[in-house]
Amino acid sequence: YDLMVTPIKVKELDTALFCKLVNISVTDFQERFEKARNYSRYKPSIFIKQISKEQYAYFQEKLHEFSGFYPQKRILREYPYKSAANVLGFIGEASDNFLAGNPGYQKGDLVGITGIEKSYESVLRGKAGVQYKMVDVHNRVKGSFLEGEYDTLPTPGRDITSTIDIDLQKYGELLMSGKRGSIVAIEPSSGEILALITSPSYDPELMVGRDRTRNYSQLYVDSINKPLYDRGLLAEYPPGSPFKVIDALVGLQEGTLTPSTTYTCHHGFHYGRLHVACHCGTGYPIALRTSISKSCNNYYCNVFKSIIEKYPTSQEGMNAWAHHVKSFGLGKFLNNDLPTGRKGFVPDADYFDKAFGYTRWKAVSTISLGIGQGELLVTPIQMANMSAAIANRGYYYTPHIIKRVNGEKLDDPNYTEPKHTTIDSIHFEEVINGMFDVFEQGTARYSRHDSIEMCGKTGTAENPHGQDHSIFIAFAPRKNPKIAMAIIVENGYWGSRWAAPIASLMIEKYITGEVNRKDMEKRMIEGSLEDEYQKQLEGKYVKNLLTLNNE
């Protein structure tokens, strides 16, 4: 409830008692009353927004002691799950800039500021009703104009149903306790976003009530945890080793790679003085499937080099490679129904011509792209979408957060028509076999599930400011996949340490409805990287120098 006041009706009252009741000072009372009187002596206006239940009850009983004041119902958002704050977003009073560009609104109107509230503002808003009143020379209301003949009733906004699986969303938030990063899960067959988790986040109830402004300010100035920063949509990272599966698919499509192509790794890729280290531990010729499960850097440096060098010039080769990569939704906006996002970055020949000079670079100058490092940048939602495209064997549906409006299914062709990659479907099976082996005998073998065929790829994204980031993409089941996802745990060392177990647990939760691997679950929930973040804050981090292949 708001406490309203009509200044002309205010009689003598116990100001001290009034101020004590609503917890304001006498000076504050005087300023508020003067503001209301300057607005209109005869019209009601808000004196105090959102009084407590106790204050409301008192005013109902003692209205005769405070003539001119009365409580008025205010509609507020309620969040029964206290989850998905970044998805739902919040509302606030329309700013002057907003009002200037939206003539249908007036001062004091509430509008969506972030999340679904912002994206679907026009759907949720509805239309205000109008009452015409007769007033006297003092602007006092004297009755309805023509008995309300021209009055209109308000039109309620439309109901919307999100795609979020709230149980999966809450479970993912629990698994990310004590960690920074994000989880994005998508249904491959539709593009519906099942979970969109950013960590740390906040209780959406903080954005409701009298303390909303204060709470927002506290969240906004938290430059360490950044709870208002939606990492799933805005954070950009080098994709690391998960990108190797894209290079493999491009090589297969370009004809520079076959499932039986082998390379021998001697602790990395060597070209003159250039050395890209690898700890896959083979030392013998390996083919495509094994290269994925072992995450061999040497293999994918050679794959990338062969793609670029297929063409007469490096420029032509790089542009062909970039064209394939962008067809997976990387390096561009996904055109989804979320109110924010970033493009990431996929370099092309123009970029390297400017960086090195025309004709002054070649494949080995950009070799780090072959292992998902260098200039490449992706957002978590792009990586999850990439995983969905692989799960579908060559196409994806634009990720979206709303499935129904007023009970009617979304029929926007942007979301219902598939977007095809440039890779023929025949090339996906061997890559998917390798991703299956990642769980069975590769870098994520300790995260495998006995009865669910999962496919994934671990990764480690280089981070110059602290420990590297733990990355994982996955989908399941192997055939007729129901969920595709990307997980990034900032400063999580390597993919198999945090991101892979979290992905495996999320998949188990979604497909079976419960989690039986309690030891793994306990380790993920209770595991915290706060000490690591503190070291980074204090400038005391030390890079992990283990020589094992821990991806």
**Secondary structure element (H or E) that encloses residue 216, with its range:** helix 212-220
- Measured distance CA(350)–CA(315) in Å, rounded: 8
- pLDDT at res. 224: 84
In contact, 256 and 307? CB cutoff 8 Å: yes
- pLDDT at res. 539: 67
* 187 SS3 class: coil
Which of 142-151, 263-272, 489-498 has the least mean pLDDT?
142-151
- pLDDT at res. 545: 39
In contact, 182 and 469? CB cutoff 8 Å: no
- Measured distance CA(487)–CA(497) in Å, rounded: 12
- pLDDT of 154 > 80? The answer is no
CATH number for the domain running over 85-162: 3.90.1310.10
- Give the architecture (CATH level 2) of 166-217+232-538: 3-Layer(aba) Sandwich (3.40)
| Per-residue pLDDT tens over the stretch 241-298 | 999 999 999 999 999 999 999 999 988 999 988 999 888 877 889 999 999 999 999 9
- Measured distance CA(89)–CA(334) in Å, rounded: 20
- pLDDT at res. 550: 46
Which of 325-339, 413-427, 526-540 has the least mean pLDDT?
526-540
Could you tell me the CA-to-CA distances from 457 to 68, 307, 439, 504 in Å, in that order? 67, 22, 9, 12
- The residues facing 115 across adjacent strands are none
- Amino acid identity of residue 168, one-letter, is L
Name the residue among 340, 369, 128, 347 with its Cα closest to residue 240.
Answer: 369
| Per-residue pLDDT tens over the stretch 316-369 | 999 999 999 999 999 999 988 888 899 999 999 999 999 999 889 999 999 999
Name the residue among 408, 503, 396, 410 with its Cα closest to residue 456.
Answer: 503
Token duo for residue 169:
């969303």
DSSP state letters, 520-536: HHHHHHH---HHHHHHH
Note the residue count of the chain: 551
pLDDT band at 93 (very low <50, low <70, confident <90, very high): confident
- Provide the sign of the torsion angle of the four alpha carbons 261, 266, 268, 271, taken in this order: negative
- pLDDT of 124 > 70? The answer is yes
- Measured distance CA(3)–CA(53) in Å, rounded: 12
Phi, psi at residue 402, to the nearest 5°? Answer: -120, 135
- pLDDT at res. 519: 94
- Provide the sign of the torsion angle of the four alpha carbons 13, 19, 20, 22, taken in this order: positive
pTM equals: 0.86
- Provide the sign of the torsion angle of the four alpha carbons 511, 512, 514, 517, taken in this order: negative
- pLDDT at res. 378: 96
* 240 SS3 class: coil
Range 487-491 average pLDDT: 93
- pLDDT of 551 > 80? The answer is no
Token duo for residue 535:
């070291």
Residue 325: HSE in the Cβ half-sphere, 13 Å Cα cutoff? 29
CA dihedral 522, 524, 527, 530 (to 10 degrees): -150
In contact, 109 and 121? CB cutoff 8 Å: no
- Measured distance CA(319)–CA(311) in Å, rounded: 10
Range 140-147 average pLDDT: 71
Kindly tell me the burial class for residue 283, based on how many C-beta atoms sit within 10 Å of its own C-beta (0-12, 13-18, 19 or more).
Answer: exposed
Where do we find the tokens 């110059």? 464
| Percent of all residues in the chain with a pLDDT value above 70, rounded to a whole number | 96
- Measured distance CA(320)–CA(307) in Å, rounded: 9
Token duo for residue 96:
């002057």
- Measured distance CA(184)–CA(501) in Å, rounded: 15
| Per-residue pLDDT tens over the stretch 126-138 | 777 777 777 776 6
Range 94-104 average pLDDT: 83
pLDDT band at 422 (very low <50, low <70, confident <90, very high): very high
- pLDDT of 176 > 80? The answer is yes
- Measured distance CA(389)–CA(248) in Å, rounded: 14
- Provide the sign of the torsion angle of the four alpha carbons 337, 342, 344, 348, taken in this order: positive
Q: What is the mean pLDDT of the chain?
A: 88
| Per-residue pLDDT tens over the stretch 57-85 | 877 777 777 888 888 777 777 888 889 99
| Per-residue pLDDT tens over the stretch 186-220 | 999 999 999 999 999 988 888 887 777 888 888 88
